Amino acid sequence: ILNVEQSPQSLHVQEGDSTNFTCSFPSSNFYALHWYRWETAKSPEALFVMTLNGDEKKKGRISATLNTKEGYSYLYIKGSQPEDSATYLCAFYNQGGKLIFGQGTELSVKP
Amino acid sequence: EPEVTQTPSHQVTQMGQEVILRCVPISNHLYFYWYRQILGQKVEFLVSFYNNEISEKSEIFDDQFSVERPDGSNFTLKIRSTKLEDSAMYFCASTWEADTQYFGPGTRLTVL
Contacts of A41 in chain B (CB under 8 A): 105
User: Do A56 and A63 contact (CB within 8 A), yes or no?
Assistant: yes
Name beta bridge partners: A1.
none
**Burial class for B17, CB neighbours closer than 10 Å (0-12, 13-18, 19+):** middle
- Return the number of other C-beta atoms located less than 10 Å from residue B96's C-beta: 13
Report the chain B residue with the minimal C-alpha distance to residue A98.
B45
Rg (CA), chain A: 13
Cβ pair A18, A26 in contact under 8 A: no
Closest-CA residue in chain B for A101? B43
pLDDT tens for each residue of A40-99:
889 999 999 999 999 999 999 999 999 999 999 999 999 999 999 999 999 998 766 789
- Asked if the Cβ–Cβ distance from A43 to B104 is below 8 Å, we say yes
Q: How high is the pLDDT of residue A98?
A: 86
Q: How confident is the model at residue B98 (pLDDT cuts 50, 70, 90)?
A: low
Q: What's B63-107 look like in SS3?
A: CCEEEECCCCCCEEEEECCCCHHHCEEEEEEEECCCCCCEECCCE
Which residues from A are below 8 Å from B32, CB to CB?
none
Per DSSP, the three-state class of B101 is coil
Residue A96 pLDDT? 66
**Polymer length in residues for chain B:** 112
Query: Which range has the worst mean pLDDT, A53-57, B15-19, B56-60, B70-74?
Result: B70-74
Residues of chain A in contact with residue B56, where contact means CB-CB under 8 angstroms, are 96-98
B28 touches chain A (CB under 8 A): no
Residue A21 in contact with residue A65, Cβ under 8 Å? no
Nearest CA in chain A to B96: A97
Query: What is the spatial distance between Cα B75 and Cα A30, in angstroms, rounded to a whole number?
Result: 29
What's the whole-number mean pLDDT along residues B89-97?
93
Average pLDDT over residues A24-48: 92
Residue B36: φ, ψ to 5°: -140, 155
